[in-house]
Structure 1
């Protein structure tokens, strides 16, 4: 698409926004870690953009993409304060809202590529420890490849200040999460082994697949099952999953889906989503080092049961 709007009309402004919506969604989601808040920020961005279009002709904007990214990022930074306040009264561990890779049939290849830029759930947890500006700089630079000079214009800082923010963020992230990526096939196999052991209450298999220092986070938000603190260590984690499997007498439908770019498990009770389970692996891909379970129904509201795209099968009551 040309970087210059086709017209200064409301229809022209709408088309420009629609053409960039998936990119804006991906950037804002990685800054906020919340689908609901991202949707709100995109609505605010749309209102700011169309308000600008009504005041002055859009032909004066030579780079609509950069203009929209700047509006969206600054609205996202403002939204971080509200998210922080919510976190202060949140019940139990807080996890980012899982983003299922469920592109609509009419999405273009570019739309699907932009949506896939979401970082893993485990990485989003690490990004929560950054300041809002550090996180925005990290996302724009490391995930989307923006140069420091471009980011400086987006967040209204000097290039030198952006370089310093980028350096601090990169050091912090890499100290907590060294760079490695298990092969997709290895990850899929490890994920399936873990889920079958966990939902089947197979202690021996769990002890084999869980890393000694594994940590389990369960985010129920006080609205669904979930511990008040993370569970650390293989023995405690194995007992947790064994008890969980024993308590569940009803059947689950188990669907393997890609969540934030990773193979993960989604559990349904009837038509309603019950939990999203995302596993983080050790560097060799042989064991599970972290388990992130989201059961808060507010964070699963956008999760749909898709009957037509099942390539992995269904797990019923005997596996629960």
Structure 2
């Protein structure tokens, strides 16, 4: 192998070794797997042309590029969502086979991958979200974060504190046993499919909320639905409209959820659980956000 070929091979190996983490950063920031992959591809183009002699740390360089590209996209996405039809939800990702989104070994990494957290992160300002993800999910020191974002270390700490406070105010922290979470989802599916409204309502917290992202592409609730009675009626009524249906209990973003084929359209439902009851449902019906996880079999 010639020296130029060897350098190219080393560059590819270095980038591929960082790729999962880079996708994980971009996805957590953007809430879109498709956008995350686009960002990482653009980072590869920059990496493949940069002078390596000017780079002290390939990892730091790539994280900086991906974070800044993601920030640019976040600002554009905010304007696009002003015209989004109905609630906006992050794109769900199947995670039971392999891990396409980078490390998820720690509780914080798994937590920041959940759809509930990704939805909450959209409430933060762009700088708050960037600092929160880099600090919470990837445990970067404030000094490194400040360099990536071009701000002072004190400002990075302040943004992290504000972001943490905003996230804490928007959620109920409660550790759910994965087995119990799965059992609750399976019971939900049985009650919903059989139309047993009392049984279904008994699995829901009285103040449960259902968010439905259709993007205006399919029929769906255009506002969040509140309350066990209204949510149970909506779920049973929605399933009853479809003559053909297929359901799979799967792992979505590290937690048990549902993959559903309703009249030949794939949809997903993820669940937020607190103290043994379902407190939130995120129903993804927007076909633009489901192409990447549609089963091929």
- TM-score (norm. length: structure 1): 0.85
Give the counterpart of 1:296 among 250, 274, 286.
286
**What per-residue deviation string (whole Å, max 9, x for no partner) do you get for residues 225-275 of structure 1?**
32110101111111112211322222x2211111111100101258x6521
What stretches of structure 1 of length at least 5 have no aligned partner?
Answer: 1-5, 308-320
What pairs with 1:178-189 in structure 2 (closer than 5 Å)?
Answer: 178-189=172-183
Equivalent position of 2:224 in the other structure: 230
**Equivalent pair of 1:101/1:116 in contact (CA under 8 Å):** no
Q: Distance in 2 between matches of 1:256 and 1:246?
A: 19
Shift of 1:59: 4.4
**Equivalent pair of 1:118/1:260 in contact (CA under 8 Å):** no
What pairs with 1:1-320 in structure 2 (closer than 5 Å)?
Answer: 9-52=7-50, 56=51, 58-103=52-97, 119-250=113-244, 252-269=245-262, 274-282=266-274, 284=275, 286-305=276-295
Shift of 1:196: 1.7
Equivalent position of 1:315 in the other structure: none
**What stretches of structure 1 move > 4 A for 4+ residues in a row?**
110-118
**Equivalent pair of 1:215/1:233 in contact (CA under 8 Å):** yes
Shift of 1:130: 0.1
Q: Distance in 2 between matches of 1:113 and 1:16?
A: 22
Q: Distance in 1 between matches of 2:172 and 2:136?
A: 14
Q: Sort the Cα spacing of 1:294 and 1:132 in 2 relative to 1 into closer, same or farther, 3 A.
A: same
Q: Distance in 1 between matches of 2:132 and 2:172?
A: 15
Q: Distance in 1 between matches of 2:172 and 2:212?
A: 23
Q: Secondary structure at the match of 1:93?
A: coil
Q: Secondary structure at the match of 1:9?
A: helix
Q: Distance in 2 between matches of 1:173 and 1:8?
A: 46
**Equivalent pair of 2:96/2:252 in contact (CA under 8 Å):** no
Q: Secondary structure at the match of 1:12?
A: helix
Question: Which range moved further: 10-19 or 128-137?
Answer: 10-19
Q: Secondary structure at the match of 2:294?
A: coil
Aligned alpha-carbon RMSD (Å) = 2.3
- TM-score (norm. length: structure 2): 0.91
Q: Distance in 1 between matches of 2:110 and 2:280?
A: 22
Q: Distance in 1 between matches of 2:165 and 2:5?
A: 44
Q: Distance in 2 between matches of 1:98 and 1:118?
A: 13
**Equivalent pair of 1:29/1:118 in contact (CA under 8 Å):** no
Q: Distance in 2 between matches of 1:67 and 1:188?
A: 40
Q: Sort the Cα spacing of 1:217 and 1:111 in 2 relative to 1 into closer, same or farther, 3 A.
A: closer
Q: Secondary structure at the match of 2:140?
A: coil
What stretches of structure 2 of length at least 5 have no aligned partner?
Answer: none
**Equivalent pair of 2:269/2:281 in contact (CA under 8 Å):** yes
Shift of 1:86: 1.6
Q: Secondary structure at the match of 1:174?
A: helix
